[in-house]
Each structure stands twice: as C-alpha cells, then as structure tokens.
Amino acid sequence: MRRMKRILLALLAVIVVALVGGYAYMMLAFPNVGDAPDISVAITPERVARGKYLAENVSMCIDCHSKRDYSRFAAPVVPGTEGMGGERFDEKMGLPGTFTSSNITPAGLREWTDGELYRAITSGVSRDGRVLFPIMPYPNFGKMDKEDIYSIIAYLRTLPAIEHEVPKGEANFPMSLIMRTIPASAAHETRPLPTDRVAYGKYLVNAAACAECHTPMEKGAPVPGKEFAGGSAFELPNGTLRTANLTPDRETGIGAWTEDMFVQRFKAYADSAAHEVSVPEGGFNTVMPWLFYSRMTDEDLRAIYAYLRTRKPVSNRVIPFTPRQ
C-alpha cells in the first residue's frame, strides 16, 4: 500500500513539474517576434491621406477603436470619439475572454515609439510585451505593404488627442496561453498595381480582413472549404447577426451580382442620413460599417469584386438575422 502511494505521489510530482515547466516555457519562449524595431515614421501629407483612407475605409481601425451607436443602423461611430477606444468584445460575442479596443489617439499612444506601434499593428505584441487578441487582425496587417503600415501610423499621430483610459483585455484559460503562440514577425507584401485588378483586390480583401468575418468558424478555427461562405454569428442587443456569403455561388452568394450591383451595394450608404435611422427593439441591425466602406473608391470596390469572383463557389444559405426573443 505504501509502495503504491509512493508511486502515485511520484507520478503526481512528475505531472506538476511537467505542467510548471510547460507553463514556464510558454511564458518565456512566446511571443517570439523580437524587440520593436527602431524606426521613425516621417509624417507627410501623402502618408496621412493614405493612412486616413486605410484606417477609416479599408482596415477599419477607427471603426473598432471608437464608440459606436448601436441604436442606429450599422452602429455608426459617435462623432468626437474617433480613436478613443473602449469598445468591448466579450463572451456574449462568443469570444474566449473580455477584450477592449485601445485608445489609439495621441493621448493613448503618448509613450509609444513608432516601432512599438508598428510591432503591435503587424505582429500583435503591445508596448509592454502583452499579446493582443487577434480580434484585431494583425496577421492580416503583417502582410500589407510596409509603406501602408507607415501611412496608418502617420495618420494615427495626427488624430485629435482624447484622454480616455481603457481597461486591458483578458483572455480565458487556456486561450491566455494559446494566443501567445499566434504573433509572428511581419511578412510584408508589395501592394500590387491597381491595373492588376485581381491581385490588387486580393490585397484589399486581406487589408480589410473580409475573411475573418465572412468565414464560418468552429472551435476558433476557420471551417476548411468554407472560406468567404458567410454564416459567422455576432450577438447584438437586438438579436443574432450572421455574415453574408461572399463566394460566387449563384444561389446563396454573389454569383448573380454584376460588378455595378456590387459597387452600388456599398455606395447606397454613402449618404450619412442612412445611418440616422433608429433601430426598433428586435429590429435588424448590423456591425458592418457601411458608412466607412461606402467611402472606398469605385476602383477599389471593383478590384475586390474581381478577386471575390475568382473564389470557389460555396453553397451556404445564410439567415441574416434572428431577432432576440
């Protein structure tokens, strides 16, 4: 009996040592992206203009890092809150923890170097070494042209400073450990010329992280073969929203859409009055930031359409919205 007890205690000790060792390894070895680079981004009118376009209309930095009014259609950004952070993303949305968008105005980035900001945007590691949850799609941003990232940094430096303290996010276990392995060093691609519409459209789709919302997920991973097929669910105060099928399937996707129809779908929301519509209790609403996307150029929207038409058609009929009972 004593022999058996000693064996069990020895096994328990081995398990404890293995767990402690594994935890220590994860904490020490990851994230493995190196120090923030020593860079200084020159703020030029060209960079600020390009960065504004990307941050507001393509990569949606301003959309997530501002206060949104969910009582109105498409939850437009509340004027005067641009970049101040504070949007909450939590378990109610199916996420493994509670995360809050940070203050990216000069007030929030006062102590940040350009290199630290670059590393956070492209590799997901904060100034203090914390790993950022990839609800901010830094794996996508790390593939963008380096000059585009510099342009975003230049633009953020010009935002009006808003003093607004934001709580740090916290992932649930074991995601708190798993997410430490996600950051990777940036692998920048050269932005294709707009004349190569498919390649340029692919670049924009990555920069906008379209697949992140429009691909169904299971256990935190994209469902193989369902890329861009829609169906991802978002829990809103009024009900459950599901993303659209963007594949060229004629019955359930955009296969029957012409290029002009696709562009017009976005441009229909260019008038800000469309976002002054109050959403009644239980009424349809969306997290799709139509007002920002409507300000993309026709050329860019047509390039996105050209790329999406090259994707494999996937039959996946989506129920867009289910009101909360």
Domain count, the chain: 2
**Range name among 18-22, 59-63, 103-107, 297-301 with the lowest pLDDT average:** 18-22
Q: How far apart are CA 259 and CA 28, in angstroms?
A: 50
| Boundary (domain end) residue, out of 172, 189, 206 | 189
What pTM was estimated for this model as a whole? 0.90
- pLDDT score of 63: 95
| Contact by Cβ (8 Å): 324, 240 | yes
Chain center to CA of 187: 18
The answer to whether residues 167 and 291 belong to one domain is no
The answer to whether residues 78 and 104 belong to one domain is yes
pLDDT value at 19 more than 70? no
| Phi, psi at 124, each rounded to 5° | 80, 25
- Per the rule left: phi > 0, alpha: psi between -120 and 50, beta: everything else, 228 is left
The answer to whether residues 239 and 284 belong to one domain is yes
The answer to whether residues 287 and 237 belong to one domain is yes
Buried b (16+ CB within 10 A) or exposed e, 6-43: eeeeeeeeeeeeeeeeeeeeeeeebbebeebeeeebeb
Q: Place 73 in a pLDDT band, splitting at 50, 70 and 90.
A: confident
Q: How far apart are CA 290 and CA 265, in angstroms?
A: 9
Q: Place 176 in a pLDDT band, splitting at 50, 70 and 90.
A: confident
Range of the domain at 65: 36-189
- pLDDT score of 219: 67
The answer to whether residues 200 and 144 belong to one domain is no
Q: How far apart are CA 325 and CA 318, in angstroms?
A: 19
- pLDDT score of 16: 55
The answer to whether residues 316 and 301 belong to one domain is yes
Q: Place 165 in a pLDDT band, splitting at 50, 70 and 90.
A: very high
Convert the pLDDT of each residue in 275-286 to its tens digit: 678 888 777 888
- Is 111 buried (19+), middle (13-18) or exposed (0-12) by CB count in 10 A? exposed
Q: What is the mean pLDDT of the chain?
A: 89
| Boundary (domain end) residue, out of 189, 209, 236 | 189
Q: Place 323 in a pLDDT band, splitting at 50, 70 and 90.
A: confident
Contacts of 10 (CB under 8 A, 6+ apart): none
| Boundary (domain end) residue, out of 154, 189, 224 | 189
Domain annotation covers residue 62: yes
The answer to whether residues 168 and 282 belong to one domain is no
pLDDT value at 21 more than 60? no
**Range name among 15-24, 149-158, 160-169, 244-253 with the lowest pLDDT average:** 15-24
The answer to whether residues 146 and 201 belong to one domain is no
